[in-house]
A and B are shown apart, each in its own frame.
Chain A
Amino acid sequence: MALYEAVIGLEVHAQLRTRSKLFCSCSTAFGAAPNTNVCEVCSGMPGVLPVPNARAVEYAARMGMAVNCTVNPVSVFARKNYFYPDLPKGYQISQFETPICEHGHLDITVNGQTRRIGITRIHMEDDAGKNIHSAGDNASYVDLNRSGVPLIEIVSEPDMRSAEEAVAYLKALHAIVVYLGVCDGNMEEGSFRCDANVSIRPKGQQEFGTRAELKNLNSFRNVQRAIEYEIARQQDVLEDGDAVVQETRLYDAVKNVTVSMRGKEEAHDYRYFPDPDLMPVRIAAEDLARWRADLPELPQARRARLMEQHGLSEQDAEVLTADRALADFFEAATAVCGQPKKVSNMMQGALLRELNQRAVTVDAIAMRPEALGELVRIVEAGLISAKIANDIFGELLESGAMPEAFVKERGLVQISDTSAIETAVDEAIAENPAEVEAYKGGKTKLISFFMGQIMRKTKGKANPALVTELLQKKLG
Protein backbone atom coordinates (compact mmCIF):
# COMPACT_ATOMS: atom_id res chain seq x y z
CA MET A 1 0.00 0.00 0.00
CA ALA A 2 1.37 3.36 -1.03
CA LEU A 3 1.97 5.99 1.64
CA TYR A 4 -0.24 9.00 1.17
CA GLU A 5 0.06 12.53 2.39
CA ALA A 6 -2.96 14.76 2.91
CA VAL A 7 -3.08 18.30 1.56
CA ILE A 8 -5.57 20.54 3.32
CA GLY A 9 -6.61 24.15 2.86
CA LEU A 10 -9.31 25.88 4.89
CA GLU A 11 -11.81 28.59 4.00
CA VAL A 12 -13.05 30.17 7.19
CA HIS A 13 -16.03 32.50 7.38
CA ALA A 14 -16.14 34.77 10.40
CA GLN A 15 -19.11 37.02 11.03
CA LEU A 16 -17.88 40.48 11.92
CA ARG A 17 -19.17 41.77 15.24
CA THR A 18 -20.87 44.87 13.93
CA ARG A 19 -24.22 46.27 15.04
CA SER A 20 -25.49 46.78 11.51
CA LYS A 21 -25.21 44.86 8.24
CA LEU A 22 -22.46 45.31 5.64
CA PHE A 23 -24.37 47.53 3.23
CA CYS A 24 -27.43 48.75 5.14
CA SER A 25 -28.41 49.76 8.66
CA CYS A 26 -30.45 46.66 9.54
CA SER A 27 -29.52 45.05 12.85
CA THR A 28 -27.30 41.96 12.86
CA ALA A 29 -28.82 40.65 16.13
CA PHE A 30 -29.03 36.85 16.17
CA GLY A 31 -32.32 35.14 16.89
CA ALA A 32 -34.75 37.95 15.97
CA ALA A 33 -38.22 36.99 14.68
CA PRO A 34 -38.03 35.99 10.99
CA ASN A 35 -37.68 38.82 8.46
CA THR A 36 -37.78 41.60 11.06
CA ASN A 37 -34.23 42.87 10.36
CA VAL A 38 -34.71 43.31 6.64
CA CYS A 39 -34.93 46.36 4.38
CA GLU A 40 -34.94 47.23 0.65
CA VAL A 41 -31.15 46.82 0.39
CA CYS A 42 -30.73 43.40 2.01
CA SER A 43 -33.86 42.01 0.38
CA GLY A 44 -32.53 42.92 -3.06
CA MET A 45 -35.17 45.45 -4.13
CA PRO A 46 -34.45 47.19 -7.43
CA GLY A 47 -32.96 50.68 -7.38
CA VAL A 48 -31.25 50.55 -4.00
CA LEU A 49 -27.61 51.42 -3.37
CA PRO A 50 -25.34 49.60 -0.92
CA VAL A 51 -23.21 51.76 1.42
CA PRO A 52 -20.33 49.90 3.14
CA ASN A 53 -20.10 49.76 6.92
CA ALA A 54 -16.96 51.57 8.13
CA ARG A 55 -16.53 49.26 11.12
CA ALA A 56 -16.64 46.13 8.93
CA VAL A 57 -13.79 47.55 6.85
CA GLU A 58 -11.85 48.33 10.03
CA TYR A 59 -12.40 44.84 11.49
CA ALA A 60 -11.36 43.11 8.27
CA ALA A 61 -8.19 45.22 8.15
CA ARG A 62 -7.39 44.55 11.83
CA MET A 63 -7.76 40.81 11.26
CA GLY A 64 -5.39 41.04 8.31
CA MET A 65 -2.81 42.81 10.45
CA ALA A 66 -3.11 40.17 13.18
CA VAL A 67 -2.24 37.39 10.72
CA ASN A 68 0.63 39.21 9.04
CA CYS A 69 -1.23 40.17 5.87
CA THR A 70 -0.61 43.12 3.62
CA VAL A 71 -3.64 45.36 3.97
CA ASN A 72 -4.45 46.84 0.59
CA PRO A 73 -5.19 50.57 0.82
CA VAL A 74 -7.56 50.08 -2.12
CA SER A 75 -9.80 47.03 -2.43
CA VAL A 76 -12.70 46.32 -4.75
CA PHE A 77 -16.12 44.74 -4.18
CA ALA A 78 -17.23 42.30 -6.84
CA ARG A 79 -20.44 40.46 -7.63
CA LYS A 80 -20.47 36.69 -7.36
CA ASN A 81 -23.47 35.61 -9.39
CA TYR A 82 -25.68 32.63 -8.61
CA PHE A 83 -29.32 31.90 -7.93
CA TYR A 84 -30.63 30.58 -4.66
CA PRO A 85 -33.72 31.59 -2.68
CA ASP A 86 -31.67 32.83 0.29
CA LEU A 87 -29.82 35.25 -2.02
CA PRO A 88 -32.40 37.85 -3.00
CA LYS A 89 -30.09 40.04 -5.11
CA GLY A 90 -29.10 37.10 -7.32
CA TYR A 91 -25.47 37.81 -6.45
CA GLN A 92 -23.31 37.97 -3.37
CA ILE A 93 -21.21 41.11 -2.90
CA SER A 94 -17.72 39.79 -2.26
CA GLN A 95 -14.18 40.71 -3.25
CA PHE A 96 -12.36 38.91 -6.02
CA GLU A 97 -9.31 40.37 -7.76
CA THR A 98 -8.44 42.90 -5.08
CA PRO A 99 -9.35 41.70 -1.59
CA ILE A 100 -8.73 43.86 1.46
CA CYS A 101 -5.91 41.64 2.81
CA GLU A 102 -3.39 39.29 1.17
CA HIS A 103 -0.19 37.31 1.75
CA GLY A 104 -0.41 36.55 5.45
CA HIS A 105 0.61 33.61 7.59
CA LEU A 106 0.07 32.00 10.94
CA ASP A 107 2.41 29.68 12.85
CA ILE A 108 0.92 26.61 14.48
CA THR A 109 2.49 24.00 16.73
CA VAL A 110 1.39 20.36 16.58
CA ASN A 111 3.21 17.63 18.50
CA GLY A 112 6.02 20.02 19.30
CA GLN A 113 6.55 20.90 15.64
CA THR A 114 5.95 24.47 14.51
CA ARG A 115 4.71 25.00 10.97
CA ARG A 116 3.88 28.15 9.07
CA ILE A 117 0.49 28.13 7.37
CA GLY A 118 0.12 30.65 4.57
CA ILE A 119 -2.95 32.85 4.39
CA THR A 120 -3.71 33.61 0.76
CA ARG A 121 -6.26 36.35 1.34
CA ILE A 122 -8.98 37.78 3.52
CA HIS A 123 -11.94 39.35 1.79
CA MET A 124 -15.17 40.99 2.90
CA GLU A 125 -18.56 39.74 1.75
CA ASP A 126 -22.21 39.75 2.73
CA ASP A 127 -23.92 36.66 4.10
CA ALA A 128 -26.97 34.97 2.58
CA GLY A 129 -30.30 34.50 4.32
CA LYS A 130 -31.57 31.25 5.76
CA ASN A 131 -33.76 28.61 4.14
CA ILE A 132 -35.99 26.49 6.30
CA HIS A 133 -37.34 23.33 4.78
CA SER A 134 -40.65 22.04 5.94
CA ALA A 135 -41.13 18.29 6.14
CA GLY A 136 -44.87 18.57 5.72
CA ASP A 137 -45.63 20.79 2.75
CA ASN A 138 -43.87 21.13 -0.55
CA ALA A 139 -42.27 24.48 0.21
CA SER A 140 -39.19 26.15 1.63
CA TYR A 141 -39.34 29.18 3.88
CA VAL A 142 -36.89 32.06 3.60
CA ASP A 143 -35.74 34.30 6.45
CA LEU A 144 -33.57 37.22 5.29
CA ASN A 145 -32.45 38.45 8.74
CA ARG A 146 -28.95 37.12 8.06
CA SER A 147 -28.91 38.42 4.48
CA GLY A 148 -26.31 41.18 4.27
CA VAL A 149 -24.59 40.44 7.57
CA PRO A 150 -20.85 41.19 7.19
CA LEU A 151 -18.40 38.31 6.91
CA ILE A 152 -14.76 37.95 6.27
CA GLU A 153 -13.56 34.87 4.44
CA ILE A 154 -10.06 33.82 5.43
CA VAL A 155 -8.52 31.58 2.77
CA SER A 156 -5.46 29.53 3.66
CA GLU A 157 -2.83 28.08 1.38
CA PRO A 158 -3.03 24.26 1.04
CA ASP A 159 -0.30 24.04 3.69
CA MET A 160 -1.79 21.64 6.23
CA ARG A 161 -0.91 17.96 6.14
CA SER A 162 -3.17 16.39 8.78
CA ALA A 163 -6.52 16.85 10.48
CA GLU A 164 -4.63 17.84 13.66
CA GLU A 165 -2.87 20.65 11.83
CA ALA A 166 -6.15 21.86 10.35
CA VAL A 167 -7.74 21.97 13.79
CA ALA A 168 -4.69 23.71 15.30
CA TYR A 169 -4.83 26.35 12.57
CA LEU A 170 -8.58 26.79 13.01
CA LYS A 171 -8.23 27.13 16.79
CA ALA A 172 -5.45 29.68 16.36
CA LEU A 173 -7.61 31.73 13.97
CA HIS A 174 -10.57 31.42 16.31
CA ALA A 175 -8.54 32.67 19.26
CA ILE A 176 -7.35 35.65 17.21
CA VAL A 177 -10.77 36.80 16.00
CA VAL A 178 -12.09 36.55 19.54
CA TYR A 179 -9.06 38.39 21.01
CA LEU A 180 -9.45 41.16 18.48
CA GLY A 181 -13.17 41.32 19.21
CA VAL A 182 -13.93 41.30 15.47
CA CYS A 183 -16.06 38.13 15.76
CA ASP A 184 -17.86 36.49 18.69
CA GLY A 185 -16.52 33.08 17.60
CA ASN A 186 -19.81 31.30 18.26
CA MET A 187 -19.67 28.15 16.13
CA GLU A 188 -23.14 26.85 17.03
CA GLU A 189 -24.77 30.06 15.82
CA GLY A 190 -22.58 29.97 12.72
CA SER A 191 -20.57 33.12 13.50
CA PHE A 192 -17.40 31.15 12.80
CA ARG A 193 -17.57 28.39 10.22
CA CYS A 194 -15.23 26.43 8.07
CA ASP A 195 -15.02 24.61 4.74
CA ALA A 196 -12.08 22.30 4.11
CA ASN A 197 -10.43 21.42 0.80
CA VAL A 198 -8.92 17.98 1.16
CA SER A 199 -6.85 15.95 -1.26
CA ILE A 200 -4.22 13.24 -0.91
CA ARG A 201 -1.13 12.39 -2.93
CA PRO A 202 1.57 9.72 -2.73
CA LYS A 203 4.26 10.91 -0.34
CA GLY A 204 7.00 12.71 -2.24
CA GLN A 205 4.78 13.70 -5.18
CA GLN A 206 4.78 17.42 -5.93
CA GLU A 207 1.47 17.79 -7.78
CA PHE A 208 -1.72 17.95 -5.76
CA GLY A 209 -4.35 15.25 -6.05
CA THR A 210 -7.96 16.00 -6.94
CA ARG A 211 -9.64 17.72 -4.02
CA ALA A 212 -13.02 17.48 -2.38
CA GLU A 213 -14.54 20.46 -0.60
CA LEU A 214 -16.08 19.56 2.76
CA LYS A 215 -18.92 21.65 4.11
CA ASN A 216 -20.97 21.75 7.30
CA LEU A 217 -18.04 21.59 9.71
CA ASN A 218 -19.54 23.41 12.66
CA SER A 219 -17.24 22.42 15.51
CA PHE A 220 -13.53 21.77 15.98
CA ARG A 221 -14.32 18.13 16.61
CA ASN A 222 -16.30 17.83 13.38
CA VAL A 223 -13.48 19.44 11.43
CA GLN A 224 -11.12 16.82 12.78
CA ARG A 225 -13.43 13.88 12.20
CA ALA A 226 -14.63 14.98 8.78
CA ILE A 227 -11.09 15.48 7.47
CA GLU A 228 -9.95 12.15 8.93
CA TYR A 229 -12.90 10.41 7.32
CA GLU A 230 -12.30 12.13 3.98
CA ILE A 231 -8.58 11.22 3.92
CA ALA A 232 -9.46 7.57 4.60
CA ARG A 233 -12.20 7.63 1.97
CA GLN A 234 -9.89 9.04 -0.71
CA GLN A 235 -7.25 6.43 0.18
CA ASP A 236 -9.84 3.69 -0.31
CA VAL A 237 -10.84 5.17 -3.68
CA LEU A 238 -7.21 5.24 -4.86
CA GLU A 239 -6.45 1.79 -3.44
CA ASP A 240 -9.37 0.43 -5.44
CA GLY A 241 -7.80 1.90 -8.55
CA ASP A 242 -10.50 4.56 -8.94
CA ALA A 243 -10.04 8.32 -9.23
CA VAL A 244 -11.11 10.92 -6.67
CA VAL A 245 -13.80 13.17 -8.14
CA GLN A 246 -13.70 16.92 -7.64
CA GLU A 247 -16.87 17.66 -5.75
CA THR A 248 -18.50 19.26 -2.74
CA ARG A 249 -19.21 16.88 0.11
CA LEU A 250 -21.40 17.46 3.12
CA TYR A 251 -20.29 16.18 6.51
CA ASP A 252 -22.90 14.21 8.44
CA ALA A 253 -21.85 14.45 12.09
CA VAL A 254 -24.34 11.83 13.26
CA LYS A 255 -23.11 9.12 10.90
CA ASN A 256 -19.55 10.52 10.76
CA VAL A 257 -19.38 10.32 6.97
CA THR A 258 -19.06 12.80 4.12
CA VAL A 259 -21.70 12.62 1.38
CA SER A 260 -21.46 13.97 -2.16
CA MET A 261 -23.46 17.17 -2.61
CA ARG A 262 -22.71 18.24 -6.14
CA GLY A 263 -20.14 17.21 -8.68
CA LYS A 264 -17.93 19.25 -10.95
CA GLU A 265 -20.34 19.12 -13.87
CA GLU A 266 -22.73 21.21 -11.81
CA ALA A 267 -19.93 23.40 -10.49
CA HIS A 268 -20.79 27.06 -10.47
CA ASP A 269 -19.42 29.61 -12.82
CA TYR A 270 -19.82 32.72 -10.72
CA ARG A 271 -18.96 35.30 -13.42
CA TYR A 272 -17.36 37.72 -10.98
CA PHE A 273 -17.18 41.36 -11.99
CA PRO A 274 -16.55 44.59 -10.08
CA ASP A 275 -19.79 45.78 -8.48
CA PRO A 276 -20.78 48.93 -10.37
CA ASP A 277 -22.80 50.13 -7.34
CA LEU A 278 -19.70 50.38 -5.16
CA MET A 279 -16.55 52.47 -5.44
CA PRO A 280 -13.24 50.90 -4.52
CA VAL A 281 -12.76 50.94 -0.73
CA ARG A 282 -9.93 53.32 0.17
CA ILE A 283 -8.34 53.16 3.61
CA ALA A 284 -6.40 56.21 4.78
CA ALA A 285 -2.81 55.63 5.86
CA GLU A 286 -3.55 57.29 9.22
CA ASP A 287 -6.34 54.78 9.90
CA LEU A 288 -4.11 51.85 9.04
CA ALA A 289 -1.37 53.18 11.32
CA ARG A 290 -3.81 53.75 14.18
CA TRP A 291 -5.31 50.24 13.92
CA ARG A 292 -1.86 48.72 13.78
CA ALA A 293 -0.76 50.67 16.85
CA ASP A 294 -3.59 49.38 19.02
CA LEU A 295 -3.53 45.70 18.07
CA PRO A 296 -3.87 43.82 21.36
CA GLU A 297 -1.42 41.21 22.57
CA LEU A 298 -2.35 38.15 20.50
CA PRO A 299 -2.81 34.61 21.87
CA GLN A 300 0.56 33.26 20.71
CA ALA A 301 2.48 36.18 22.20
CA ARG A 302 0.46 36.00 25.38
CA ARG A 303 1.05 32.27 25.69
CA ALA A 304 4.78 32.80 25.37
CA ARG A 305 4.67 35.59 27.95
CA LEU A 306 2.67 33.52 30.47
CA MET A 307 5.21 30.71 30.12
CA GLU A 308 8.12 33.12 30.50
CA GLN A 309 6.73 35.38 33.19
CA HIS A 310 4.79 32.87 35.31
CA GLY A 311 6.60 29.62 34.56
CA LEU A 312 3.48 27.90 33.18
CA SER A 313 3.79 24.79 31.03
CA GLU A 314 2.96 25.19 27.35
CA GLN A 315 -0.21 23.18 27.78
CA ASP A 316 -1.40 25.25 30.74
CA ALA A 317 -0.62 28.47 28.89
CA GLU A 318 -2.52 27.23 25.85
CA VAL A 319 -5.66 26.40 27.81
CA LEU A 320 -5.59 29.73 29.63
CA THR A 321 -5.00 31.85 26.53
CA ALA A 322 -7.58 30.12 24.32
CA ASP A 323 -10.05 32.70 25.60
CA ARG A 324 -9.05 36.29 26.24
CA ALA A 325 -11.37 36.62 29.25
CA LEU A 326 -9.88 33.47 30.79
CA ALA A 327 -6.35 34.81 30.36
CA ASP A 328 -7.38 38.17 31.85
CA PHE A 329 -8.94 36.30 34.78
CA PHE A 330 -5.76 34.32 35.30
CA GLU A 331 -3.55 37.39 35.35
CA ALA A 332 -5.84 39.30 37.72
CA ALA A 333 -6.08 36.33 40.12
CA THR A 334 -2.32 35.80 40.05
CA ALA A 335 -1.75 39.46 40.85
CA VAL A 336 -3.69 38.93 44.12
CA CYS A 337 -1.88 35.84 45.42
CA GLY A 338 1.40 35.64 43.51
CA GLN A 339 0.90 31.89 42.93
CA PRO A 340 0.53 31.45 39.15
CA LYS A 341 0.76 27.65 39.11
CA LYS A 342 -1.81 27.25 41.90
CA VAL A 343 -4.12 29.70 40.16
CA SER A 344 -3.68 27.82 36.89
CA ASN A 345 -4.49 24.49 38.58
CA MET A 346 -7.57 25.85 40.31
CA MET A 347 -8.80 27.47 37.10
CA GLN A 348 -8.31 24.34 35.02
CA GLY A 349 -9.81 22.17 37.75
CA ALA A 350 -12.63 23.72 39.73
CA LEU A 351 -13.30 26.78 37.58
CA LEU A 352 -13.50 25.10 34.16
CA ARG A 353 -15.50 22.25 35.68
CA GLU A 354 -18.08 24.63 37.11
CA LEU A 355 -18.17 26.71 33.91
CA ASN A 356 -18.72 23.61 31.80
CA GLN A 357 -21.46 22.37 34.11
CA ARG A 358 -23.27 25.68 33.74
CA ALA A 359 -22.34 26.09 30.06
CA VAL A 360 -21.24 29.68 30.68
CA THR A 361 -18.08 31.63 30.01
CA VAL A 362 -15.87 33.22 32.62
CA ASP A 363 -17.13 36.75 31.92
CA ALA A 364 -20.67 35.66 32.79
CA ILE A 365 -20.07 34.62 36.42
CA ALA A 366 -20.34 36.55 39.69
CA MET A 367 -16.95 35.37 40.95
CA ARG A 368 -14.23 37.98 40.41
CA PRO A 369 -10.62 36.98 39.73
CA GLU A 370 -9.68 38.62 43.04
CA ALA A 371 -11.85 36.02 44.81
CA LEU A 372 -10.09 33.12 43.12
CA GLY A 373 -6.74 34.67 43.99
CA GLU A 374 -7.82 34.98 47.61
CA LEU A 375 -9.03 31.39 47.63
CA VAL A 376 -5.62 30.20 46.48
CA ARG A 377 -4.01 32.39 49.13
CA ILE A 378 -6.07 31.03 52.04
CA VAL A 379 -5.50 27.42 50.93
CA GLU A 380 -1.77 28.04 50.77
CA ALA A 381 -1.84 29.77 54.16
CA GLY A 382 -3.54 26.69 55.65
CA LEU A 383 -6.73 28.53 56.54
CA ILE A 384 -8.79 25.94 54.67
CA SER A 385 -7.94 22.64 53.02
CA ALA A 386 -7.82 22.16 49.25
CA LYS A 387 -10.81 19.86 49.59
CA ILE A 388 -12.93 22.52 51.27
CA ALA A 389 -11.85 25.00 48.59
CA ASN A 390 -13.02 22.57 45.94
CA ASP A 391 -16.30 21.89 47.77
CA ILE A 392 -17.27 25.54 48.16
CA PHE A 393 -16.09 26.61 44.70
CA GLY A 394 -19.50 26.36 43.07
CA GLU A 395 -21.10 28.52 45.74
CA LEU A 396 -18.37 31.13 45.49
CA LEU A 397 -18.76 31.17 41.72
CA GLU A 398 -22.52 31.71 41.97
CA SER A 399 -22.49 34.27 44.76
CA GLY A 400 -19.36 36.24 44.04
CA ALA A 401 -18.58 36.12 47.79
CA MET A 402 -15.01 36.75 48.96
CA PRO A 403 -13.61 33.39 50.19
CA GLU A 404 -11.97 34.41 53.46
CA ALA A 405 -15.09 36.07 54.87
CA PHE A 406 -17.20 33.20 53.47
CA VAL A 407 -15.26 30.37 55.18
CA LYS A 408 -15.09 32.25 58.50
CA GLU A 409 -18.82 32.87 58.46
CA ARG A 410 -19.52 29.22 57.61
CA GLY A 411 -17.09 27.90 60.22
CA LEU A 412 -15.04 26.12 57.59
CA VAL A 413 -11.71 27.36 58.79
CA GLN A 414 -9.25 24.50 59.05
CA ILE A 415 -8.37 23.17 62.49
CA SER A 416 -4.67 23.65 62.98
CA ASP A 417 -4.93 23.48 66.75
CA THR A 418 -3.02 20.32 67.76
CA SER A 419 -5.10 19.57 70.84
CA ALA A 420 -8.40 19.62 68.92
CA ILE A 421 -6.99 17.32 66.24
CA GLU A 422 -5.38 15.10 68.86
CA THR A 423 -8.79 14.34 70.37
CA ALA A 424 -10.07 13.21 66.98
CA VAL A 425 -6.94 11.14 66.35
CA ASP A 426 -7.21 9.43 69.73
CA GLU A 427 -10.88 8.65 69.12
CA ALA A 428 -10.15 7.16 65.72
CA ILE A 429 -7.41 4.96 67.14
CA ALA A 430 -9.58 3.82 70.05
CA GLU A 431 -12.53 2.96 67.80
CA ASN A 432 -10.53 0.88 65.29
CA PRO A 433 -8.27 -1.55 67.18
CA ALA A 434 -8.16 -4.08 64.29
CA GLU A 435 -6.88 -1.46 61.83
CA VAL A 436 -4.33 -0.30 64.40
CA GLU A 437 -3.00 -3.84 64.67
CA ALA A 438 -2.85 -4.24 60.91
CA TYR A 439 -1.05 -0.93 60.55
CA LYS A 440 1.50 -1.93 63.10
CA GLY A 441 1.86 -5.24 61.27
CA GLY A 442 3.08 -3.33 58.20
CA LYS A 443 -0.11 -2.26 56.36
CA THR A 444 0.99 1.37 56.37
CA LYS A 445 -1.48 2.21 53.59
CA LEU A 446 -4.12 2.21 56.32
CA ILE A 447 -2.96 5.70 57.20
CA SER A 448 -5.44 7.00 54.63
CA PHE A 449 -8.21 5.03 56.37
CA PHE A 450 -7.43 6.86 59.61
CA MET A 451 -7.20 10.13 57.75
CA GLY A 452 -10.70 9.53 56.40
CA GLN A 453 -12.04 8.78 59.89
CA ILE A 454 -10.53 11.94 61.31
CA MET A 455 -11.73 14.09 58.44
CA ARG A 456 -15.24 12.77 59.01
CA LYS A 457 -15.05 13.66 62.71
CA THR A 458 -13.78 17.17 61.92
CA LYS A 459 -16.05 17.70 58.90
CA GLY A 460 -13.02 17.95 56.66
CA LYS A 461 -11.54 20.82 58.58
CA ALA A 462 -8.49 19.15 60.13
CA ASN A 463 -5.16 20.25 58.71
CA PRO A 464 -4.05 17.10 56.84
CA ALA A 465 -0.35 17.69 57.46
CA LEU A 466 -0.92 17.85 61.21
CA VAL A 467 -3.15 14.77 61.14
CA THR A 468 -0.48 12.75 59.35
CA GLU A 469 2.16 13.90 61.77
CA LEU A 470 0.07 12.98 64.84
CA LEU A 471 -1.01 9.64 63.38
CA GLN A 472 2.53 8.61 62.61
CA LYS A 473 3.61 9.58 66.09
CA LYS A 474 0.80 7.73 67.86
CA LEU A 475 0.75 4.63 65.64
CA GLY A 476 4.50 4.50 65.19
Chain B
Amino acid sequence: MTTISTEQVAAIARLARLAPDEAQLETFARQFGDILGYMEMLNGLDTTGVEPLYSPVQHATALRPDEAAPRCTREDVLRNAPEADQEFFIVPRIV
Protein backbone atom coordinates (compact mmCIF):
# COMPACT_ATOMS: atom_id res chain seq x y z
CA MET B 1 0.00 0.00 0.00
CA THR B 2 1.39 3.39 -1.00
CA THR B 3 1.66 5.87 1.80
CA ILE B 4 1.93 9.60 1.19
CA SER B 5 3.16 11.78 4.03
CA THR B 6 1.61 15.07 5.01
CA GLU B 7 4.99 16.65 4.18
CA GLN B 8 4.68 15.40 0.60
CA VAL B 9 1.17 16.81 0.38
CA ALA B 10 2.40 20.11 1.77
CA ALA B 11 5.17 20.25 -0.84
CA ILE B 12 2.70 19.62 -3.67
CA ALA B 13 0.32 22.17 -2.20
CA ARG B 14 3.11 24.73 -2.16
CA LEU B 15 3.80 24.12 -5.85
CA ALA B 16 0.11 24.74 -6.53
CA ARG B 17 0.13 27.86 -4.31
CA LEU B 18 -2.38 26.24 -1.95
CA ALA B 19 -2.27 26.43 1.86
CA PRO B 20 -4.27 23.53 3.30
CA ASP B 21 -4.66 23.33 7.09
CA GLU B 22 -3.49 20.37 9.18
CA ALA B 23 -6.76 18.48 8.92
CA GLN B 24 -6.86 18.90 5.16
CA LEU B 25 -3.25 17.72 4.86
CA GLU B 26 -4.24 14.49 6.64
CA THR B 27 -7.28 14.02 4.43
CA PHE B 28 -5.37 14.66 1.20
CA ALA B 29 -2.50 12.39 2.26
CA ARG B 30 -4.98 9.53 2.77
CA GLN B 31 -6.78 10.27 -0.51
CA PHE B 32 -3.52 10.54 -2.51
CA GLY B 33 -2.44 7.21 -1.03
CA ASP B 34 -5.73 5.58 -1.98
CA ILE B 35 -5.54 6.82 -5.58
CA LEU B 36 -1.92 5.79 -6.03
CA GLY B 37 -2.63 2.45 -4.40
CA TYR B 38 -5.47 1.86 -6.83
CA MET B 39 -3.19 2.74 -9.75
CA GLU B 40 -0.57 0.34 -8.44
CA MET B 41 -2.74 -2.51 -9.61
CA LEU B 42 -1.43 -1.69 -13.09
CA ASN B 43 2.06 -2.67 -11.96
CA GLY B 44 0.81 -6.23 -11.66
CA LEU B 45 0.46 -6.41 -15.45
CA ASP B 46 3.29 -7.41 -17.73
CA THR B 47 3.68 -4.54 -20.23
CA THR B 48 6.86 -5.78 -21.88
CA GLY B 49 6.84 -4.76 -25.52
CA VAL B 50 3.68 -2.66 -25.18
CA GLU B 51 4.07 0.88 -26.52
CA PRO B 52 3.14 3.58 -24.01
CA LEU B 53 -0.29 5.03 -24.69
CA TYR B 54 -0.36 8.77 -24.14
CA SER B 55 -3.94 9.22 -25.16
CA PRO B 56 -6.89 6.97 -26.00
CA VAL B 57 -7.35 9.11 -29.12
CA GLN B 58 -5.35 7.55 -31.94
CA HIS B 59 -5.63 9.87 -34.92
CA ALA B 60 -2.59 11.59 -36.42
CA THR B 61 -1.41 14.99 -35.20
CA ALA B 62 -3.37 17.79 -36.79
CA LEU B 63 -0.80 20.38 -37.88
CA ARG B 64 -1.58 23.92 -38.92
CA PRO B 65 0.04 25.76 -41.85
CA ASP B 66 2.32 28.60 -40.72
CA GLU B 67 0.06 31.53 -41.50
CA ALA B 68 -0.27 34.54 -39.24
CA ALA B 69 -3.72 36.03 -38.79
CA PRO B 70 -4.91 38.35 -36.04
CA ARG B 71 -7.75 36.98 -33.94
CA CYS B 72 -8.30 39.30 -31.03
CA THR B 73 -8.04 42.99 -30.37
CA ARG B 74 -5.99 44.13 -27.43
CA GLU B 75 -9.19 45.39 -25.83
CA ASP B 76 -10.64 41.85 -26.01
CA VAL B 77 -7.49 40.30 -24.63
CA LEU B 78 -7.28 42.64 -21.65
CA ARG B 79 -11.04 42.70 -20.97
CA ASN B 80 -11.15 39.97 -18.29
CA ALA B 81 -7.90 40.85 -16.57
CA PRO B 82 -8.34 41.68 -12.87
CA GLU B 83 -6.11 44.68 -13.50
CA ALA B 84 -4.90 46.24 -16.74
CA ASP B 85 -4.18 49.58 -18.31
CA GLN B 86 -4.71 50.30 -21.99
CA GLU B 87 -1.64 48.23 -22.93
CA PHE B 88 -0.58 45.75 -20.27
CA PHE B 89 -1.83 43.18 -17.79
CA ILE B 90 -0.87 44.48 -14.37
CA VAL B 91 0.22 42.12 -11.60
CA PRO B 92 1.69 42.66 -8.12
CA ARG B 93 5.35 43.55 -8.41
CA ILE B 94 7.38 40.35 -8.83
CA VAL B 95 11.00 41.47 -8.45
Interface residues, chain A, with chain B CB atoms under 8 Å away: 18-20, 24-29, 33-40, 43, 51-57, 76, 81-85, 131-134, 137-144, 269, 271, 274, 276, 278-282
Q: If the complex has contacts A35-B87, A53-B66, A279-B61, are A26 and B15 also in contact, measured as CB distance less than 8 A?
A: no
A-chain residues with CB within 8 Å of residue B78 when the two chains form the complex:
35
- Report the bound CA distance from A156 to B88 in whole Å: 36
Chain B contacts with A in 57-95, Cβ cutoff 8 A: 57, 59-72, 74, 77-78, 83, 85, 87-95
Q: Is the CB of A56 within 8 A of B77?
A: no
A-chain residues with CB within 8 Å of residue B15 when the two chains form the complex:
81-82, 269, 271
- Report the bound CA distance from A143 to B64 in whole Å: 25
Closest to B78 in A: A35
A-B contact pairs, 28 of them (CB 8 A): A20-B68, A25-B64, A25-B67, A25-B71, A27-B70, A29-B68, A35-B87, A40-B71, A51-B63, A52-B61, A83-B17, A85-B89, A85-B91, A134-B93, A139-B92, A140-B94, A140-B95, A141-B85, A141-B88, A141-B90, A142-B88, A142-B91, A144-B89, A269-B15, A274-B54, A279-B61, A280-B55, A282-B61
Q: Is the CB of B64 within 8 A of A53?
A: yes
Q: If the complex has contacts A54-B63, A142-B89, A279-B62, are A27 and B68 also in contact, measured as CB distance less than 8 A?
A: yes
Q: Is the CB of B92 within 8 A of A280?
A: no
Q: If the complex has contacts A83-B17, A274-B54, A279-B60, are A25 and B90 also in contact, measured as CB distance less than 8 A?
A: no
Q: Is the CB of A54 within 8 A of B77?
A: no
- Report the bound CA distance from A29 to B70 in whole Å: 12
B-chain residues with CB within 8 Å of residue A18 when the two chains form the complex:
66
- Report the bound CA distance from A52 to B63 in whole Å: 5
Q: Is the contact region of chain A dominated by helix, strand, or loop, or is it mixed? A: loop
A-chain residues with CB within 8 Å of residue B83 when the two chains form the complex:
139
Q: Is the CB of B92 within 8 A of A53?
A: no
Of the listed residues A29, A35, A39, the one surrounded by the most CB atoms of chain B closer than 10 A to its CB is A35
Contact of A140 among B64, B87, B92 (CB under 8 A): B92
- Report the bound CA distance from A57 to B60 in whole Å: 14
Contact of A26 among B11, B71, B87 (CB under 8 A): B71
Q: Is the CB of B93 within 8 A of A133?
A: yes
Q: Is the CB of B66 within 8 A of A139?
A: no
Q: Is the CB of B95 within 8 A of A133?
A: yes
Q: Given known contacts A55-B66, A274-B55, what 17 new A-B pairs fall within 8 Å (CB)?
A: A19-B68, A20-B64, A24-B71, A33-B87, A35-B78, A38-B77, A39-B72, A54-B65, A85-B91, A131-B91, A133-B94, A138-B93, A142-B89, A142-B91, A279-B60, A280-B54, A280-B55
Q: Is the CB of B54 within 8 A of A76?
A: yes
- Report the bound CA distance from A25 to B95 in whole Å: 32
Closest to B57 in A: A279
Q: Is the CB of A144 within 8 A of B93?
A: no
- Report the bound CA distance from A40 to B89 in whole Å: 14
- Report the bound CA distance from A144 to B87 in whole Å: 11
Q: Is the CB of B70 within 8 A of A37?
A: yes
Closest to A45 in B: B80
Q: Mark B16-53, 1 if CB is under 8 A from A, else 0.
A: 01000000000000000000000000000000000000
- Report the bound CA distance from A26 to B57 in whole Å: 27
Contact of A35 among B17, B54, B57, B74 (CB under 8 A): B74
Closest to A54 in B: B63
A-chain residues with CB within 8 Å of residue B92 when the two chains form the complex:
138-140
Q: Is the CB of A54 within 8 A of B60?
A: no
